[in-house]
Amino acid sequence: MLTRHVLTSSQSRECDVKAVERLGIPSIVLMENAALSVVEVLEKHVGVERGQTVVVACGRGNNGGDGLAIARHLHSMGVNVSIYLMAHFSDLKGDAAINCVAASRIGIPIVEVADESKLREFEGALKGAQLVVDALLGTGITGEVRGTIAKAVDAINSYGGQVVAVDVPSGINSDTGEICGVCIRADVTVTLGAIKRGLLLFPGAEYVGDLFLGYIGVPKELFESFEPSVQVTTEELVWKCYKPRALNTHKGDYGRVLIVGGSVGMTGAVMMCAVAALRGGAGLVTVALPKSLNNSFEAAVLEAMSLPLPETEKMSISLDAVDIVLERANVVDVLAIGPGISRVPETQEFVRRLVRSSNRTIVLDADGIMAFAGKMDELKERSCELVLTPHPGEMAALTGKTVTEVQQDRIGISQAVAEELNAVVVLKGAHTVIASPDGNVYINLTGNPGMASGGTGDVLTGLIASLIAQGNKPFEAASCGVFLHGLAGDMASWDKGEASLIAGDLIEYLPKAITQPDMWMPICLRPLSARVWFVSRGRRNE
């Protein structure tokens, strides 16, 4: 089985070095295995056949060496392959040079495109190709792509046919997902050895296309040796969090959730949060909300209890409600604070006092998080376990950073806030990041753009709270909740489409996601063979 860990470029290189120096695996063998993995994807997924015309664009480094080895295997299959080397032959070293000599000796045409004078010939070759293999740049690039390579990238992007990238699309920073000036827009990427972070982080993730993970011969134990670890979420989290129920059981065995929120105009937030908590398996759910909203809530949600609270003139929760909520908190397992709670100053102070005073685990969301904007140090004064579920704007407000800064370092900022606050952080968005206080991270691959709709965050809050109430640790509960939330969204989109998706659809499909989490396998982390895994489906960024 291949690894589900996600590595930085330096970690990946360290694994390669250990495989060569400690285990005695020749580096040329790693390159050959890499080539075979890419060729398998070309055969089984892309459909490359004898007689087709393929152009392989190579750089001077090991990524180019992979491309040269790929070309040799395609040639042996009867593919009409040609190599365009964006360097001089003399620039190649080590294994790349060995593969260049081998490719030349078996008769593969190799054209040096060391300067712009040869670019026109390269562009002409692209026009007659059924497929282009991008082996220009590897994982080491951080600065802007310039010169002949940049023009070659532009030419490939203008080509119009299928493009398969080796390890990473050339031009992506493989650690951050940033675009280094220009970047290959791939239809398929075969990353090698372990998944690279930048392939799952945006904007780079939009350039990856269908993502595959290929075996290169490095034992997965090396990839999994890094602490803290970054992994992708899988259905295994669901099996861990949802254990079979005993026959002799009652509602108290499955936890009590207290949801605190709601205000005039936003009662639906606590309603959806409550139903999601119930669908997630919680035995008892109570919603504490402004008293004037109580009747409408009770009429809409039959299975949850309610706790009417003193309210402000603006029909939000009053500061006088702190002691009432704390008394009820004594008989529950977890509090979910924030859905629809409003930014009324008195209500925001209510949230801060409640969080500081509670000894029950809290899931803090939405305007509950905004109560601590510019006051993050106050979150350190609490005595309870905490799960924060901010979107990038809320994370920016909490930390004093800009949204751009948050998005440029989603993993690093999530890890830093989780450590500083001794809390679990769920940074929402495409490929949600879940970070634990000890630095371990899950990156979630379920979900789709149709979930960019009001109320979906409230559903997630209720689901995470439900999983905590059932006895799961906050980090596992948050990671499982995010996975199921996205999977329910995927299942709903298959029937309803993305444009029509609403938050209530996620609740509707949540039972199916919980009972059939392996439905994720057809779209993510599906073994193509013992050598290659299909990691995730992508969309080409035009």
**Angle subtended at Cα 180 by Cα 177 and Cα 183, rounded to the nearest 5 degrees:** 85
- Give yes or no for a contact between 204 and 175, defined as CB atoms under 8 angstroms apart: no
3-state secondary structure 431-459: CCEEECCCCCEEECCCCCHHHCCCCHHHH
pLDDT value for 514: 98
Residue 70 three-state SS = helix
Q: For 58, which DSSP code? A: E
Q: Collect all residues with Cβ–Cβ distance below 8 Å to 438 and sequence separation of at least 6.
A: 228, 419
pLDDT value for 542: 55
pLDDT value for 332: 98
pLDDT value for 44: 96
pTM (whole model) above 0.85 = yes
Domains of the chain, first to last = 6-234+530-536 (3.40.50.10260), 236-520 (3.40.1190.20)
Spans in the chain with pLDDT lower than 50: 541
pLDDT value for 540: 55
pLDDT per residue as tens digits for the range 284-332: 999 999 999 999 999 999 999 999 999 999 999 999 999 999 999 999 9
- Give yes or no for a contact between 34 and 101, defined as CB atoms under 8 angstroms apart: no
Give the Cα separation of 317 and 262 in Å (integer). Answer: 8
pLDDT value for 1: 55
- Overall size of the chain counted in residues: 542
